[in-house]
Amino acid sequence: MDMLPIKRGILSVTDKSGLAEFASELACFGVELISTGGTRKMLLEAGLDVKSVSEITGFPEIMGGRVKTLHPNVHGGLLADKDNPEHLSTLEKHGIKTIDMVCVNLYNFAQAVSEGQDLKHAVEQIDIGGPTMLRASAKNFHSVLVVPSPVHYPRIIEDMKKNDGKISLHLRKDLAAETFAMVSEYDSMIAKYLAEHDA
Q: How many domains are there within the chain?
A: 1
Helix (H, G, I), strand (E, B) or coil at 133: helix
Give the DSSP H/E element, type plus range, for residue 167: strand 166-168
CATH number of the domain at 18, please. 3.40.50.1380
pLDDT at 169 over 90: yes
What mean pLDDT do residues 5-32 have?
96
**Which pTM was predicted?**
0.92
Contacts of 160 (CB under 8 A, 6+ apart): 6, 25, 29, 166, 167
DSSP 79-93: H--TT-HHHHHHHHH
Contact 187, 179 (CB under 8 A): no
Domain that holds residue 176: 3-196
107-141 per-position pLDDT tens digit: 778 887 788 888 888 888 888 889 999 999 999 99
3-state helix, strand, coil in the chain (%, to 5): 55, 15, 30
